[in-house]
Structure 1
Amino acid sequence: VGALIAAGLLPAAVLMVCMLIAAYAVAVSRGYPAGVFPGWAGVFHAAAAAVPGLLIVVIILAGILSGVFTATEAASIAVIYTLLLTFLIYRTMNWHYLMLAAAKAVKTTGVVLLLIGVSAMFQYLMGLYEVADFMGELLGKVSTTPWVVFLLINVILFVLGTFMDMAATILIATPIFLPIAMKFGMDPVQFGMVMLINCALGLNTPPVGTTQFVGCAIGEISVGAVMKTIWPFYGALVAALMLVTYVPSFSLALPRLLMGYAH
């Protein structure tokens, strides 16, 4: 787990750069007005004000990497810290707003649970008809060229991710495609990063598209409206995916440097 967390840092930076480029291109093409730079004093003031909130990332990562608490327990720690922060430090939360936030969270959670239920049905049907096994066997017969095999794995993972929840995709696809990827020279940690980026693509793509449905529910906008404008950001995700797939250093440099990882 520690190696996977360290491995995710550089791909996250690559993904951030790709998204920034896509956002800039969209803003320029649509003629969005440029913001006014507040000056470095304003930047430092905003950064200082954000430090207490950003500490939650440090607490979660440090706690998981050190073994103080599990990833699941980290969610509870994050909620408790956030409540203390908003009530006592920022003082932006009161009981009225807390109840409103809780009500909206219940609504959003209902959407997520419904989508997970639908995803579970797809998972059952795909397991019943051995779709993933068939894909794995077919993949081994199509090509013996590593870059072609990796490309096909990406396509299959993306398709699976559009129909299933991320956890289901990982549980079903990893035992099938990890041995194939390793056979053609891909490290398990690198495969983990490839899997996660594919899941990110799948979670933003209907018919299931859990993340997109949740985002649309929060923003109170239709999925159809979002799909008309999301394509540049899909391109950014795909660009990051290709870099992580075909340049192993993006995933493996930090685990090797920080943890002496070797496989």
Structure 2
Amino acid sequence: MGQASLLLFGSFALLMALGVPIAFAIGAAAALTFLLFMNFDQSMFIVAQQMASGLDSFTLLAIPFFILAGNIMNSGGMARRLVDFAQILASPLPGSLAHVNVIANMLFGSISGSAVAAAAAVGGVMAPIQKREGYDPAFAATVNITSCPTGLLIPPSNTFIVYSLITGGTSVGALFLAGYLPGILMGLGIMLVAGIVARRKNYAPAPRPTWTDARTATLNAILPLGLIVVIMGGIIGGVFTAAEASGIAVLYTLFVTLVWYREIGIRDLPKILVESAVTTSIVLMLIGASIAMSRVMAFGQIPQAIAEVMLGISDNPTVILLVITMVLLFVGTFMDMTPALLIFTPIFLPVVKQIGVDPVHFGVIMTFNLCIGICTPPVGSALFVGCSVGGVPITRVLRPILPFFAVMISTGLIVTFMPWLSLALPRYFLGY
């Protein structure tokens, strides 16, 4: 086990340091470690076989369809309508445009399932408005960056689909429902910090909207928000699975943007399809390589050995969960969410099962802690996108973003040690 662990993680770290793309680094590390147990030809065959067979899952069909639905929404004007609706909700609050950004990210992220798409779409709409109203661009970008991960918790979430695959069939519907309250809690925490900063900077509330404006914004948001009702209502009611719901999401968004709003045309679809195919190929390549790495870890009994070591240090659930949280926060800083989830779930899941942590709750813990990493340098995708659309260099947001990180970590700890936040909705609606 010691040799296997050293070779697997050592070669992976070395390849990453050399700038090898992460999917290739994962696959190469898995192949090298298999050489401890078999010859070269067998090692290459097993890695290729595991990458192919690992993607042979009906559940994974949800990922390309949700990605496509998100790209259609990103191009079809839904973000702007959700921003208008969020302005109605947040207008009485000090620094209302910051709260609009948070609420719109929660809404758009929950519909598209992508934090980066939310940061780009909502940030692109909000940045010029906030600049015109005199908001500090660094503050505006910080709010956008730290609020977009809420869409990874509030369903539909591709992260939960991947987690379900890794754990061998944890209910996707239960995971989707489990993400609502933690995602909302994260959003409220961001709004709390944004409100405090807004008061210090004397950002006034927006003028109260007229009844006509409120009615118009609400009516325009009904169709985008209706997608949440269709997807979650169908899954909870047992009408369709998560994979089938993703197909429904594509048809729904096509109808809304192509037929109803007419903000995209038939000529725009090839570009959207190509972008979706490229994104899907990247995600599935990461999943396939990570499944091969998971197989070599299982072959070398690495998760069992790590579980024994951790339980040997302490059998106190609080201590173990704190250690896991610190590891996930550290890993999320240097690794993208999908490979981190695929690599570390098989390692930590046996440990938390032995201390009585529910797999659905642990999926929320994993997602919550890892999604903080997409806002941090050096590889935070949301950080780069948020700074780009906000027109500010990364160096300008590093200081103002610290209080937001503090509240994200604090709310993460609340979710970790209050499992009812994750399990209340699955138990109520699904009898989980």
Quick one: structure 1 residues 212 and 59, their matched pair in 2 at CA, closer, same or farther if it must change by over 3 Å? farther
Q: For 1:242 and 1:148, how far apart are their aligned partners in 2?
A: 12
Quick one: structure 1 residues 55 and 25, their matched pair in 2 at CA, closer, same or farther if it must change by over 3 Å? same
Q: For 2:346 and 2:233, how far apart are their aligned partners in 1?
A: 29
Cα deviation, residue 196, structure 1: 0.9
- 1:123-172 Cα shifts (integer Å, max 9, x gaps): 97xx89x9988865553343332212111110111112222222212221
- Check the 8 A contact 2:236/2:430 in 1, yes or no: no
Cα deviation, residue 244, structure 1: 0.8
Quick one: structure 1 residues 260 and 5, their matched pair in 2 at CA, closer, same or farther if it must change by over 3 Å? same
- 1:88-134 Cα shifts (integer Å, max 9, x gaps): 323444578x48x859x68x959x959x98xx79x97xx89x99888
Give unmatched runs, 5+ long, in structure 1.
none
- Check the 8 A contact 1:26/1:232 in 2, yes or no: no
Is 1:45–2:216 an aligned residue pair?
yes
Higher relative contact order (CA 8 A, sep 6+): 1
Quick one: structure 1 residues 178 and 131, their matched pair in 2 at CA, closer, same or farther if it must change by over 3 Å? closer
Is 1:18–2:189 an aligned residue pair?
yes
Q: For 2:329 and 2:307, how far apart are their aligned partners in 1?
A: 14
Paired residue for 2:358? 187
Q: For 1:7 and 1:88, how far apart are their aligned partners in 2?
A: 34
Match of 1:159 among 313, 323, 330: 330
Paired residue for 1:230? 401
- Check the 8 A contact 1:132/1:173 in 2, yes or no: no
- Which structure 2 residues correspond to residues 1-263 of structure 1 after superposition, within 5 A? 1=171, 2-39=173-210, 42-65=213-236, 71=242, 74-75=245-246, 77-93=248-264, 98=268, 102=272, 138-261=309-432
Q: For 1:140 and 1:177, how far apart are their aligned partners in 2?
A: 11
Q: For 2:304 and 2:386, how far apart are their aligned partners in 1?
A: 33
Cα deviation, residue 222, structure 1: 3.3
Which residue identity is paired with 2:229?
Answer: V
4+ long deviations beyond 6 Å: 130-135
Which residue identity is paired with 1:201?
Answer: I
- Check the 8 A contact 2:303/2:346 in 1, yes or no: no
- 1:10-44 Cα shifts (integer Å, max 9, x gaps): 21222222122122112122222321121455334
Quick one: structure 1 residues 248 and 86, their matched pair in 2 at CA, closer, same or farther if it must change by over 3 Å? same
Which residue identity is paired with 2:393?
Answer: S
Q: For 1:219 and 1:27, how far apart are their aligned partners in 2?
A: 18
Q: TM-score, normalised by structure 2?
A: 0.49
- Check the 8 A contact 2:236/2:429 in 1, yes or no: no
Cα deviation, residue 65, structure 1: 4.6
Which residue identity is paired with 1:145?
Answer: N
Q: For 1:224 and 1:69, how far apart are their aligned partners in 2?
A: 46
Q: For 1:258 and 1:70, how far apart are their aligned partners in 2?
A: 15
Larger Rg: 2
Specify the SS of the correspondent of 2:373: helix
Quick one: structure 1 residues 225 and 59, their matched pair in 2 at CA, closer, same or farther if it must change by over 3 Å? farther
Which residue identity is paired with 1:88?
Answer: V
Specify the SS of the correspondent of 1:34: coil
Q: For 2:384 and 2:234, how far apart are their aligned partners in 1?
A: 31
Specify the SS of the correspondent of 2:207: coil
Q: TM-score, normalised by structure 1?
A: 0.76
Which residue identity is paired with 1:16?
Answer: G
Which residue identity is paired with 2:209?
Answer: P
- Check the 8 A contact 1:4/1:192 in 2, yes or no: yes
Which residue identity is paired with 1:6?
Answer: L
- Check the 8 A contact 2:179/2:364 in 1, yes or no: yes
Which residue identity is paired with 1:187?
Answer: D
